[in-house]
Chains A and B, each alone.
Chain A
Amino acid sequence: MEYFHSVRLEQDKCKGCTNCIKHCPTEAIRVREGKAHIIQERCIDCGECIRICPNHAKIAVGDGLETLALYRYRIALPAPAFVSQFAGRAGLEQILGSLLTVGFDDVYEVARAAEVVARTTRRFLAGYRGKRPLISQACPAVVGLIQVRFPSLVEQLLPLTTPMDLAARLAREKGRADTGLPDEAIGTFFISPCPAKITAGRQQHGGVPGPDGVIPLAAIYGDILKGLAAAPAYACRAGVAGYGWGQSGGENASIGGQRLLEVDGIHHVIEVLTRIEAGDFQDIDYIEAQACPGGCVGGALMVRNPYLARLELRQLARCLPANAGELPEPGNNLATTPVQPRPVLQLDADLAAALEKMHRLETTQALLPGLDCGSCGSPSCRTLAEDIVRGEAQDTDCVFVLRERVRVLAEEVVELARKLPPSMAKPEGGSNSENQGNSN
């Protein structure tokens, strides 16, 4: 399976320090020969490694402004959290207008599409009688986490497309109506807070098109700042409800309801999903789960501190009405294809063989010291055991096992060194004769 990933390693910057391997929620990173490697199939592009790397060797690769040149009419799709990054320097409408100074012809706020998704979600929840809780699909890192680590929960993902994809489809329709240009001439570009959305933008689910490109916020931050002072005002077409999606709790607030739960930060999301899989939380209707601290305001490609950004977002939105007046009818644009599990953690495609490997994994793990030090390049002793069983590592990759082997070997060497050929005389006054000979 060929998988595009936005998260990459910059070889030159990586010092092989092993900081990243411990924080990856899918244990996708190993350090080998002094450099980190991402196991492609496991990576969910959550960006945890980008946040944690002290050398800034982990990066996200998206589209640049030069790709705008491929289209005749270019529409920017700013994530709801986008505006939070420029608060204090201009008002909301001017911040949106600044996108027109960097090469875009129009703007379509993802916040507006978010309100459409919220409205449909509200209706869907009202008629839903299946397994609860339903889980939001809005954060692609969480969807990836579910595919890799919680495959039984894919059926509880809300079967609606994300605000990003919906915004792209609605923007394209609007662009067509405004300009009369054909679809190929219209380019839609999501301005992304995170690597996960870059990857999601590239994977067109079941052929339904999302944005044509995804530009990392950090990559155009400087350009936007430059254009901000002279930027024209762009009339905001979304409300507080839509902009709220930029932070944890905002999606739930715009859907409305009694038993909606929000969780942010990937490791907290893992705790909640573990409970759901164990049968808890059945009295909860809906889970808004976001991989980043504080939600998208804390995205790995955002520039400002997440907590400050959250405050700024709330303040900027204060001038807006609660909801966008009339909302567009989404038609077929909310369709998604069902999410499939990604069984990449399996030890073997054959169950019996996998069980045999699990046997060896458990016995191998028992021989390791259990310190989870990371010196072997695997995130924990258990993962090293897994790598050994998969044939990708050896037990002597563990420094403690190696040291023990060396000690045993050294003792044998000392032992051997004491032995003398039978033809040689014993040393004078050989008091330690018991160690020497086999001569009689």
Chain B
Amino acid sequence: MKESLPALELAIPVRARDFLAGGDGAARIRQVLQQVGFPPGVIRRVAIAAYEAEMNIVIHSLGGELKGRITPEVITIIARDAGPGIPDIDLAMREGYSTAPREIQEMGFGAGMGLPNIRRCTDELEIHSAPGAGTTIKMVIYNR
């Protein structure tokens, strides 16, 4: 009865500007996927997308949350934050574009690879954002 199986839900809070913990959420999702036994290629795509989304929250927002919803067929990651929002999503999707504050860029983060990288790794990508209203990124990766 595969269909009746409830999805596995994970929720991991992400703190703004906590660079030492940044990446822990993605690593935890990765560990879960590995123990469940998803193929290495799928795990890797999720790991990259979740990591980029998590670092976006750390760098740009006032804090947020990483949520995972896992079924045998599809993995959905939702990164939601409270923060300034993305003023121009199309522009943000361009490689090399970054709004990271200069002091953070100097630390080697925020090179503007986040969203383009996420797009490369996901099968579906939805971004909802408005200035002042925070950002929600929904990333879907099929297991195939």
Contact = CB atoms under 8 A, between A and B. Distances in A.
Interface of A: 149, 151-152, 154, 274-275, 277-280, 341, 343, 345-349, 351-352, 354-356, 358-359, 361-362, 386
B67 to A, nearest CB: 14
Interface of B is mostly: helix
B8 A152 contact: no
Interface centre among B27, B36, B40, B48 (most CB of A within 10 A): B36
B124 to A, nearest CB: 19
B88 to A, nearest CB: 24
B8 A277 contact: no
Contact of A359 (B8, B23, B43): B8
B37 A343 contact: yes
A355 B8 contact: yes
B2 A358 contact: no
Nearest to A149: B34
Nearest to B3: A352
B71 A278 contact: no
Nearest to B23: A278
A347 B37 contact: yes
A31 B51 CA distance: 35
Contact of B37 (A278, A348, A356, A359): A348
B44 A277 contact: yes
B5 A278 contact: no
Contacts of B43: 151-152, 277
A341 B72 CA distance: 20
Interface string B29-43: 010101111101101
Given A347-B36, A351-B37, 20 more contacts: A152-B43, A152-B44, A152-B47, A274-B27, A274-B30, A278-B26, A278-B27, A278-B47, A279-B52, A346-B37, A347-B35, A348-B37, A351-B38, A352-B2, A352-B72, A354-B37, A355-B5, A355-B71, A358-B32, A358-B36
The size class of the interface chain B forms with chain A is: 20 to 34
Nearest to A274: B27
B40 A279 contact: no
A354 B8 contact: no
Contact of A279 (B48, B70, B71, B143): B48
Given A152-B43, A358-B8, A278 B36 contact: no
B40 A352 contact: no
Contacts of B41: 152
A359 B4 CA distance: 14
Interface in B41-57: 41, 43-44, 47-48, 50-52
A341 B38 CA distance: 12
A149 B6 CA distance: 27
B47 A355 contact: no
Nearest to B27: A274
A355 B44 contact: no
Contacts of A154: 40
Nearest to B50: A278
B126 to A, nearest CB: 20
Contact of A278 (B32, B34, B51, B72): B51
Residue in A154, A278, A346 with the greatest tally of chain B CB atoms within 10 Å: A278
Contacts of B37: 343, 346-349, 351, 354
A41 B43 CA distance: 22
Contacts of A348: 37
Nearest to A356: B5
Contacts of B71: 355
